[in-house]
Amino acid sequence: MTPKDRGRDVVQGTLDMLVLKALSLTPMHGWGITNRIDQITKGVLTVNPGSLYPALERLQDRGWITAAWETTESGRNAKYYKLTAAGRRRLGAETETWRRMAAAIEAVLRTT
């Protein structure tokens, strides 16, 4: 496995949801997504490029996000990823599922 320098690897299966969530406000490029997840989780969760880009490809395959080359504020070319309507619906569904799961796990952990 790839060595990490900070934080923990994202929980298996939640990466897609995190990426969708990160993109839900505005289209972003790859590094932007990592950075955003890093910021929101205050460095607890880290997405390394080796997982991020395959995930982005996968999400495109499923039609949840699209990609286009655009110019950044600093005038460089970057590939921006954007949530599609289907992606937004998917995010809603995944969030819902996650909450139920988390609540269930929480319940299990509370009961001793």
Residues contributing to the site for another protein (CB under 8 A): 2-5, 29-31, 34-35, 48-51, 53-55, 57-58, 60-63, 69, 76-79
Pairing mode, strands 8-9 and 45-46? parallel
Cβ distance to another protein smaller for residue 5 or 111 = 5
What is the smallest separation between the CB atom of 5 and another protein, expressed in angstroms? 6
Cβ distance to another protein smaller for residue 60 or 95 = 60
Type of residue at 55: A
CA dist., res. 38 & res. 42, Å (int): 6
Report the run of H or E that residue 58 belongs to, with start and end: helix 49-61
What is the smallest separation between the CB atom of 39 and another protein, expressed in angstroms? 11
